[in-house]
Amino acid sequence: MIKTLIVDDDFLVRMFLKQITDWEAAGFRLTEDACNGKEALSIIEREQPGLIITDLSMPVMDGIELIKAVRENTSEQCIVALSCHDEFEYVREAMKMGADEYLLKNLLDEAILLKTLESVRHKMEQSARKQHEKNELQRLAQKGSEVILQELILDLSQRRYSKEEQQALCAAAGIPHSFHRCAAVIASGEAAEWMIFRPVCEQYCRNKNAVCLGTYGNGALILMDLSEVHSHAEQWEAVCAFAEGVKGCIVNYLNTPAVVGVSGLNGGDGGIFHSITQALLAYSFRIYDYRVFRYPEIIVGDQLPEQAELLKRVIESREEVKNERLLLLGKSAFAALRKSSVRPDIIREWYSCIMKNATEERKIPETLEKMEAAWMAESSCDRKGAMADRNCGNRAISQAVLYIKNHFHQPISLSQVAAEVHLNATYLSYLFKQETGVNFSEYLTECRMNKVKKLLVESDGAIKECAAAAGFQDYRNFCKLFKKELGLRPAEYRNQYRNLKK
């Protein structure tokens, strides 16, 4: 609805204009009316109408002065001047001051009014489009190409657009390729800084039907346009050669190990989305080694090797275990993992579990080699304090743990839980740490984090909604915590794993 203000010193004219047509059916909503320009300015400031219909000859402040005052502040409102046959000079002056249309009171009827309103609507829509285009150009100029490309990555990785929409989005970001048939590549170097790494990738893409969009999943995301390559075999051959070339370029120019994740071949609606999702999954297998991982060739396992399960059970049992035995169990577990093809998220959760229970260390290394090195270093240290019994032998703590498990999705506090188990909050905090080995806030966050990971994989809800359902009220803080815990953003985690079993 377009807010409309009628200004006329004649009460009967104002009433006539209000009743001459069904304004709301025409898409206009009348505000309170005014009897002169001064009164109108007060209403304009308060109501911000889109259309002003004003008489020209009025006391206190006439229509000419009103139009001039409005145009000094804004050009957004549309103004229609009302006049009589003998006021042509007034009309000319009104148009000069910025009126968009004029109506003759003597000839005014519903048909003429509706025709004028339709013309007004058309002008306002044109003006809005031009303003949007102007704002968009200003936005692009302010943000720069790198930010625009990052926004494009975010769009394309979170929604299955039609092939026409994909092409339009890319064109708006200055990318001329159609990507009707495409593949995605995500590449990174072990010790390469992005400011140095990106130009290498961009240089390799030059004079090829490929474009380096920016960072994604801690690597450089490259899209390949295969629309001009006809056969499936030739397309796959081109993708494999390109991936090996990117890897070689990183190794040769930056003198650092490189890993590359390659998608399968995709096309049609959602082609870019599927390519990015597949490349990210393939890239996640960098946990095993620095090499090229091709999505169609990956065999994904869901079960940890028995040796890894055994190490986990030993740590969870809280047994007194000699360091020598832990070292042997660790070596055996990591050797078995390197020969497996277990999903990287399962390995990270397993590693987080054994390290958290044993040392309360939460940072997760990127590769199995680094995980093993960290594990061996910790296993050589005294674990007496970290291996303390976390079984809740105290009844009050058992009740507190149960209450947290049942209410973690709510904004609960230490004081609230203390009241539930009839303990002083300070004493509960001390006792909780003694009995479980972690403090109250850490345990609460762990419960919420486990829930949100499950929601991200098993539901289609918005990430913000999943976080809120798990008890995270501060979305920005949740995103930072998630990235710190798992090494992935929530959207990246979801894209990798929620469709693995489909």
Diameter of the chain by CA atoms? 107
**Under a CB-based contact definition with an 8 Å cutoff, are residues 189 and 256 in contact?**
yes
Q: Where, residue-wise, is CATH 3.40.50.2300 in the chain?
A: 2-128
Q: Where, residue-wise, is CATH 3.30.70.270 in the chain?
A: 159-296
* CA atoms within 13 Å, Cβ hemisphere of 391: 7
Inform me whether the pLDDT recorded for 386 exceeds 60. no
* The pLDDT value given to residue 75: 72
Cα separation, 40 vs 62, whole angstroms: 10
**Under a CB-based contact definition with an 8 Å cutoff, are residues 428 and 417 in contact?**
yes
Non-local CB neighbours of 244 within 8 Å, separated by 6+ positions: 260, 292
Label residue 216 exposed, middle or buried (CB < 10 Å: 0-12, 13-18, 19+).
buried
Inform me whether the pLDDT recorded for 360 exceeds 50. no
Q: Count the Cβ atoms, other than its own, within 10 Å of residue 30.
A: 18
Rounded to 5, what percent of the chain is helix, strand, coil?
60, 10, 30
Q: Where, residue-wise, is CATH 1.10.10.60 in the chain?
A: 395-497
Determine the residue type at 229. Answer: V
Q: How many residues does the chain have?
A: 502
159-296: CATH number = 3.30.70.270
For a pLDDT cut of 70, what percent of the chain falls above it? 88
- Which listed CATH number (1.10.10.60, 3.40.50.2300, 3.40.50.720, 3.40.190.10) goes with 2-128? 3.40.50.2300
Cα separation, 156 vs 227, whole angstroms: 18
**Under a CB-based contact definition with an 8 Å cutoff, are residues 438 and 360 in contact?**
yes
Indicate the pTM of the whole model.
0.49
For 219-255, how does the pLDDT look when each residue is reduced to its tens digit (9 = 90+)? 889 999 999 998 999 999 999 999 999 999 988 888 8
Residue whose token pair is 């080694």 = 289
Phi-psi region of 265 (alpha: psi -120 to 50; beta: other; left: phi over 0): beta
Helix axes 37-47, 63-73, angle to 10 degrees: 30
- Which listed CATH number (3.40.980.20, 3.90.1150.10, 1.10.10.10, 1.10.10.60) goes with 395-497? 1.10.10.60
Cα separation, 110 vs 6, whole angstroms: 16
Mean confidence (pLDDT) of the chain: 84
